[in-house]
Structures are given as structure tokens and as C-alpha cells.
Amino acid sequence: MNSRGVVYCGATHTAYLEAALISAIALRQQDPQIPITLISDQPLLKFLPLYTYQITPKFLTPDFLTAESLTTETDTYAFSSRQIKTRLNTLSPYQETLFLDADILPLQPIHDLWSYLAHSDLAMVADRLPMVILCDHIAQEEKTYTLQQVPGNTVQFNSGVMLWRDTFAVQTLFEQWHREWQKFRKHDQLALVRALYTTQVPVLKLPKTYNISPKDAESALSGKLDAHLLHCWGGMVASGKYRQFARLFYPDAVDQAAELIANYRGSSHDSSQPIEVEQAL
């Protein structure tokens, strides 16, 4: 097992694979040496020449994405990305892993981030709505259930950026997280809250500069805050806005990712147009 590296997941649709590629290529510009693994269930991944960027592809076969995520009429394949996220510890080839969502845009080198593992086996940024009682993006049924399990002021962490060391405690947490996710099989964040509460695994709070939205980082982009990782959530990948936003900082990365997708999918697409996808990742 390698000592440390970054893991991306670009699953459920080519749009998310492309977004993860943009982010990974941008990160490669910031850090020429860090190992990067890109996980996807998209068969296209097997044909992309990612070695050019020193990115290791990890294709998930249909056997990995079991039917457990599709057991009710309201469940959709789009939420299988959440199933993948709760099993990342079994997919990462690293002893120390930094997971980045496909819609993360790195603006600065992240080498200082690893030092936080000297103080904890697990580190994340608190969500912009940092308490469970404030959570507003998950179905009321699951929120009500969660509030029956944990106090309303329990910290809600954003799982778009996760840093961990492969220890027994962290493995136990991931196993519990997956079990909690299976109860509703939709979003993953409140399932993580419940898993953390059950296992009592300590979480080190990272500075928000390592997981901040473009809107919240307006002061960062004007030079008043040191933003490292922008989290372009809110459907930006699905609408094509992520690609447009990333172009402001990494036009070459956007063009290279679009060219890879177009060349190896067998048909081109206009990189200025949005791609219609489920907005579940």
C-alpha cells in the first residue's frame, strides 16, 4: 500500500467523470508528485490514457454496485455514488487518503493538509450548515430519524473532502457509515453523522479553506482568504457551470478533459454546453 494519495470518484454519468478529470488534472498542476486514483463505474474510464497525467484509473465493475441501492421505487442509480463513497476505505490504495468530490476545484497546493493526520486519524470541514438541526438538503424523513438518534447540535461534516489514515477505528467507521446509508439509500451526509455518533471516532475540524463554496469564498478570490479547495456543489456539474467556472482558473485542464472524453467516447460534444444528468452526486 502506498503511503499517501488522492482519490476521486467520478461515477453515475460521464459528466461526473469529466468533472473529476478536470479537478485531477488541475491538482496535478498544483502537485506534480502526489499519487492520484480516479474511481468510476463508467466503462469509458478503461480507455482513457490517464497515464499521461500520472493518474491511476480504478474501474468499478457492476458486481461492486450491488442491487442494494435499488431496492425501492424511489431509489435511482444516481445515488449509487453514495454507496461508493461509504466504501472508499476498501477502494483506496493508500495508507493516508485524501478524498475529493468530483466538483472540487483545487486552487492551491495541498501538501500542508497531510500534517493534520499527525493529530487525528480523520479530518473534515464542518458543513456550511454545521449542525444537524440546520440540515436542509436531505429528505425530512431521514432528518427526523437522525434527530431521534443524535442531538440537534451534533456537528454535520461535509463529506466532499475527507482526509483519513487507514486504521481499525476508521475502517469500523466506514463499515458503520455504509450500514447507516443502507437505511435510506439516498444522501450520505446524515448517515455519516449517525455513524460518527455510534462509533465515537474523533474528527479533526479542518479549516474551511479546504472545503468552501465559490459563493462563500468570494473574499478568498479577492485575496482576503486563503482558499485551497473550492466545492462547486448545488448542481454545477449537471448544469455545466462547473466546467465554465473551472475554465476561469484552468482552461487547459478543462480542454484536456473534454478532449479525452470526446475522443474516447467516439463522439464529440460542445464543451460549452451542459450535460443533462441526475443531480445526486
Per the rule left: phi > 0, alpha: psi between -120 and 50, beta: everything else, 238 is: alpha
Q: Is residue 192 part of a domain?
A: no
Q: How confident is the model at residue 267 (pLDDT cuts 50, 70, 90)?
A: very low
Least confident residue range of 184-193, 226-235, 239-248, 251-260: 226-235
Q: Is residue 239 part of a domain?
A: yes
Q: Is residue 172 part of a domain?
A: no
Q: Is residue 92 part of a domain?
A: yes
pLDDT in tens, 138-167: 999 999 999 999 999 999 999 999 999 999
Range of the domain at 17: 2-126+154-165+202-265
Q: Is residue 219 part of a domain?
A: yes
Contact by Cβ (8 Å): 104, 229: yes
**CA proximity to 157, closest of 208, 101, 98, 100:** 208
List, in sequence order, the alpha helices (H) in the chain: 14-30, 80-85, 88-91, 140-149, 168-182, 189-199, 218-221, 236-239, 241-249, 251-265
pTM of the entire predicted model: 0.89
Q: Is residue 160 part of a domain?
A: yes
| CATH code, domain with 246 | 3.90.550.10
Q: Is residue 252 part of a domain?
A: yes
Gap between the Cα atoms of 223 and 246, Å rounded: 18
Q: What's the domain count of the chain?
A: 1
Q: What are phi and psi of 224, to 5 degrees?
A: -90, -15
Contact by Cβ (8 Å): 4, 247: no
Q: How confident is the model at residue 69 (pLDDT cuts 50, 70, 90)?
A: very low
DSSP codes joined into one string, 166-209: --HHHHHHHHHHHHHHHTT-S-SHHHHHHHHHHH----EEPPGG
Q: Is residue 36 part of a domain?
A: yes
- Give the chain's mean pLDDT: 88
